[in-house]
Structure 1
């Protein structure tokens, strides 16, 4: 693959280009413009439309440095239609000399920028300009404006990209008749047009990225992503995995002991998981379902299948409170059936931790815990199934580490990842193409819908009375403290202050407090008291976001709701509505609201379906932030749009499978063109 030095890049410039991800000639070819400027035509000063970028050619009439109201370089220029003023608030002495020389020798200025109406008539502030001879020709294509970085000018980028287009292999890697059938330009046509569009090109379509040339580039980008993910999927399936073919005995006992029947969605997901576990290839399945859809019981039954087959299962959760909820629930379900459940977390005392590690390495059937499960000192006797809850909160390296723990003794374990953040279909097709997905799309019977109320902070007194009313009716309530991203200390102080204020405002009621800095046993004791009904109002930080299940709690107040993301608001709201009583979630917000905060609160108020909330969240945030691009290891799409270009994602999925099956060499060349060394990111 030709390196970037091939187009005359110095070591100093190479370092700067590296900040833009430009390391090879191919990277320059697919470094496409943000927008375009039209320098192919001239506009007369008298015809310039205010606020619109135009190109003017004019003679210099006068040059002066003025000191009021501030120091500035001012030049008067004119063409055949009228005069205009140029203002430069930041300038060098050489600019003054240059403009004066142009006035003296009669050379023209070619100016590009917006014209506005000033006190003395039309003016341009800091226009881009250059001196030209009287007969200088105009460019024949629109001028591209590229993503840039400090020390790399637009002019440098244009020259480098023009050289790269001359040296790079732009040969077509897809079947030309197939491209024509689907209305796609050839790759060479597309990139050449996008880097140097002719004046006749539809500038609106270019700016909006709806031009057919953009469509081809978007398709190729999505195809590279699909190819890399499908390759990762195939590479995993090429490895062996333990065949977890149990006799069904433990599963039948657990199903018989549960106080509720499984939903049709749970049964369907279990069937898909069970089929995967009996194959000698590693399962890589994402189990996604809305808050309260019953993912834990599906995970428990999957773990039972591994245990029946003589293997261990491990469940890792991102927070101690969530891991502990899982541990208590799973132990209550499984220990009566003779299943040994171990608990492993970082806050355990040294002796307890060593005992748990020993248990995991010997007789434990199911190990539940946090990041402590992947520490170097932890070994597993025969890990057959790794379950990761809230998988998007773990980095690639952490997910891989749990898999490696199983590989030490034998084959890599099967992996089941769970997420209560529903993933919109287009995002699942694009960013999770290397996973099999099971969806729990129905709630168990008996779950009551939660009503959402938006209340201004000015009406806080009414909310306090609402809490008193709920407690008087025999219910319980949560009060969630404001989210403070910057400081854990500040977050703790806010929780303590909120608890003190509410204890005064709700005098006579039992007000508890739980936050992330509490020791595990203190946290567990408080949660147990709340679950037992000995605490009326639980003041909490977002540690209760997932995994907390208290059916008698029917009211939740989220303070400063405008600070929370949609996913968090939806998760928190899911802590109520878990019993038979009508439940309410009050979103207490403070004015003034930003546009984004207003949009978020409107979405959460109008929707209860997690998938619809996730779809709108994706539109608000974009895919990179939604999937956590730094953690997922998946390159964020630069050009394609998941909503607008959903049809291209479908097309690219089909083409990826075809290329890998029928033309693997062309698939490799396509990946090299688009991703280069970044393909390594996708192997997790």
Structure 2
């Protein structure tokens, strides 16, 4: 095998024999029969056998190779707009050919444009010819050959326990059902017989497809159950707040002191989730909890209270955010709330991002290592190898879907020295040694499909803040087509003249020939010309941290009327006076992003609006998916309802892979249509792990390969 072919196979993930045999066809070509030319029908793909009776190169209206072929029933013209000398030789007059292509009618009779052509020799295939997903430098003929070889070589022993009930296959063909083994199913799907109903292969209802779906869902369920078992065996620090003996004048626990300093009261929902988290982190097994709360519901204060409990128990906490803007927003709030309390203990809130000056960074790293940094707030800089925590007990990850799975795993694996010293009053929380890992709280304003699907399988504990703090104003969402842009700018100018502030969000910084989207800089200049009296600011990801902060400070202070920005302001921007959000090319954004952007307004007492400016195609229409997304935004402000619709539109995402959405690792099964198979797998998985652990391990190894680790994130 050449290096080029090897790399092409690796690009598709085709490394093991099992990878090859699970690389199933996109479609099939029927080369099992020959049709007389006279029996072919226009628009149908047919295979004929005929003799070349004429060949010529025509120069008008464009250069093309035209070949005339005949059989006993009639004639057909073959046209090749791109051709080479070797093709002319293989299509010489007198050659007997086997030709397959789409038949077209016309004034000059039947024609085929660029058909597949080979010599008419050898027996016809006994099975349909598979057409596989492929990539550059990987020809179909080679892919068919290596997959056929893998099918002969691979061992597919049965991994379902003998006593297990068979999967509930639907009877799609009206005949008595039989049980398909995995070996039979895969061989059939790579080389189905000509009599199969192609519709059952295309919609994956054929029993062979059903067997694959059942196996895949069982692997997914086994991995979920095994993960829960593994987590139950891990040891985590017991995070209980310091309690003073009765009758003493000792200070209140840190989280109660924090509650007393806050300028607002917690909502009932915030109090409830704080209690859920406090119970979880007081256990000696690691918490793995998702905190769901709509935009503006107050997740940060819940994180602060959780951190206060961990700090009071003698442990460090880390809060990781996906952008510097969001991290700095958290840092400012948490510093304001916690530093006065921590100062009395000789501790503080630390700040760690990639763009820090060397001296400041060294100071922060030292404070983290010696434990004086009780809470560390930052970006992915927190998970760099040289960052060593003294006693990491609780990890908080905001907007968790913005981090890759590997990044979240890295933070959970941060080693804490086994000889870490502990407070005498908290001896029970001393590190137990190898196997100790921190509790983890992940936060999100709009649960992404992967999170929803994992929650559906009870992989995560979930806390939900299902009410907004008082004072939040409802946001009106409107859809406006691009051709009304000038009208929108006029309305925007009037709003600014009345003292309102607004955002204008663009999806790209630079022009892209592929996408042809307006860029932030050009939009900034165009809007400046259209509204000469307005004070405009520009914010994008390529600006330095200091420049970004200067722009945001000016906007928050009211010195900028209109902030033109990329999605760098998606999360972490809190300007109560900003009451208008305009999202350009809204059809290009996902629902989660649109909901986050909309959440930047409505933070004050002024009525707020979100305008989704969308572009249409040449016929003035949106794609069905884009229309569905934008309509969902206009119909509801509920982040959980938006997440549900996002799941419907985008799919459950890749459960065990690094990607967050799109094509699922459930390559074959569909959660919407295969509920019966899912229930079968959910019932079988725990019994199989208990009674047939060797078969369960073999089944997961076959289907998951090296992806098991990703579940731990």
Summarize the Cα distance change of 1:74–1:542 in structure 2 as closer, same or farther, 3 Å threshold. closer
| Aligned residue number for residue 287 of structure 1 | 291
SS in 2 for 1:477: strand
SS of the equivalent of 1:279 reads: coil
Aligned pairs for 1:196-595 within 5 A: 196-247=191-242, 249-338=253-342, 340-361=348-369, 362-409=371-418, 410=431, 411-424=436-449, 427-429=452-454, 434-471=459-496, 475-484=500-509, 495=520, 498-499=523-524, 502=527, 505-506=530-531, 508=533, 510-521=535-546, 523-590=548-615, 592=617, 595=623
Q: Is the 8 A contact 2:633 2:642 kept in 1?
A: yes
> Aligned pair in 2 of structure 1 residues 328, 10: CA closer, same or farther (>3 Å)?
closer
Match of 1:190 in 2: 185
* SS, match of residue 675 in structure 1: helix
- Secondary structure (helix, strand or coil) at the match of 1:50 reads coil
Question: 1:631 & 1:561 partners in 2: Cα distance?
Answer: 21
Query: Which structure has more helix as a fraction of its residues?
Result: 1
How do 1:620-659 residues align onto structure 2 when only pairs under 5 Å count?
Answer: 620-621=649-650, 629-630=658-659, 636-645=665-674, 648-659=677-688
Cα distance in 1 for partners of 2:361, 2:2 equals 55
Cα distance, 1:622 vs. partner?
5.0
Match of 2:373, SS state, is coil
The alpha-carbon deviation at position 330 of structure 1 amounts to 1.6
CA distance, structure 2, for counterparts of residue 48 and residue 348 of structure 1: 72
Number of residue pairs matched? Answer: 667
Bigger CA drift: 378-387 or 529-538?
529-538
The 10-residue stretch of structure 1 (31-40 or 599-608) with the greater mean CA deviation from structure 2: 599-608
- The within-5 A match list for 1:592-611 is 592=617, 595=623, 597-611=626-640
Structure 2 distance, partners of 1:146, 1:502, is 49
Three-state SS of the structure 2 residue aligned to 1:365 is: strand
Q: Secondary structure at the match of 2:216?
A: helix
Contact 2:391-2:417 within 8 A present in 1 as well: no
Conservation of the 8 A alpha-carbon contact between 1:283 and 1:415: yes
In structure 2, C-alpha distance between the alignment counterparts of 1:664 and 1:201, rounded to whole Å = 37
In the alignment, which residue of structure 2 is the partner of 1:116? 104
1:131 and 2:119 are equivalent in the alignment: yes
**Residue 31 of structure 1 contacts residue 146 of structure 1 at CA under 8 Å; is this kept in 2?**
yes
Matches within 5 A, 1:165-180: 165-175=151-161, 178-180=164-166
Provide the secondary structure at the position in 2 that maps to 1:581: coil
5+ unaligned residues in a row in structure 1: which ranges? 1-8
Q: Secondary structure at 1:348's aligned position in 2? A: coil
Does structure 1 conserve the Cα–Cα contact (< 8 Å) formed by 2:450 and 2:654?
no
SS at match of 1:205: helix
Residues 585-621 of structure 1: per-residue CA shift (max 9 Å, x gap): 1223445476365554344333433344344445555
CA separation of 1:645 and 1:438: change in aligned 2, threshold 3 A: farther
Q: CA RMSD in A?
A: 3.6
Query: Secondary structure of 2:447's partner?
Result: coil
Question: Displacement of 1:211 after TM fit?
Answer: 1.9
Unaligned runs of 5+ in 2: 170-178, 244-252, 419-430
Confirm or deny: 8 A CA contact 2:508 2:519 kept in the other structure.
no
Cα deviation, 1:345-390, whole Å, max 9, x if unaligned, reads 2333333333333333332221212233233443323211111112
Distance 1:161 1:503 in 2: 60
Contact 1:430 1:649 in 2 (8 A): no
Alignment of 1:74 with 2:66, yes or no, is: yes
The equivalent residue for 2:248 is none
CA distance in structure 1 between the partners assigned to 2:442 and 2:45 by the alignment: 51
Contact 1:226 1:430 (C-alpha < 8 Å) held by counterparts = no
Structure 1 residues 87-142: Cα deviation after superposition (integer angstroms, max 9, x where no partner): 23344444444444754xxx5x3322210114411111222233335xx6543322
How far 1:574 moved relative to its partner? 0.6
Distance 1:591-1:113 versus aligned 2 partners, 3 A rule:
closer
Post-superposition offset of 1:68: 3.7
What secondary structure, in the 3-state scheme, does the structure 1 residue paired with 2:389 have? Answer: coil
CA contact (8 A) 1:396 1:633 kept: no
Please report how far the alpha carbon of residue 494 of structure 1 lies from its aligned counterpart in structure 2 after TM superposition: 5.4
Single out whichever of 395-404 and 92-101 deviates more from structure 2: 92-101
CA distance in structure 2 between the aligned counterparts of 1:72 and 1:565, rounded to whole angstroms: 45
Mapped partners of 2:455, 2:338: distance in 1: 37
Q: SS of 2:105's equivalent?
A: strand
Bigger Cα displacement from structure 2, 319-328 vs 198-207: 198-207
Which residue does the alignment assign to 2:126? Answer: 140
Counterpart in 2 of 1:3?
none
Partner of 1:5: none
Residue 409 of structure 2 contacts residue 712 of structure 2 at CA under 8 Å; is this kept in 1? Answer: no
Deviation per residue, 1:40-72 (Å, 9 max, x gap) = 333332332222212223344334444444444
Trace 1:4-153 onto structure 2 (pairs within 5 A): 14-100=6-92, 102-103=94-95, 107=96, 109-132=97-120, 137-153=123-139
Cα 1:12/1:376, change in 2 over 3 Å: closer
8 Å contact from structure 1 (residues 225, 430) kept in 2: no
- TM-score, normalized by length of structure 2? 0.83
Quote the offset at 1:196 in angstroms. Answer: 2.0
Contact 1:37–1:145 (8 Å) recurs in 2: yes
Query: Which whole-Å deviations, capped at 9, do the CAs of 1:613-670 have from their partners, x for residues lacking one?
Result: 3444455555559999457999733323344445544544444333333322112211
| Alignment TM-score, normalising by the size of structure 1 | 0.86
How far apart are the structure 2 equivalents of 1:373 and 1:101? 72
Preserved CA contact (<8 Å) 2:412 2:438: yes
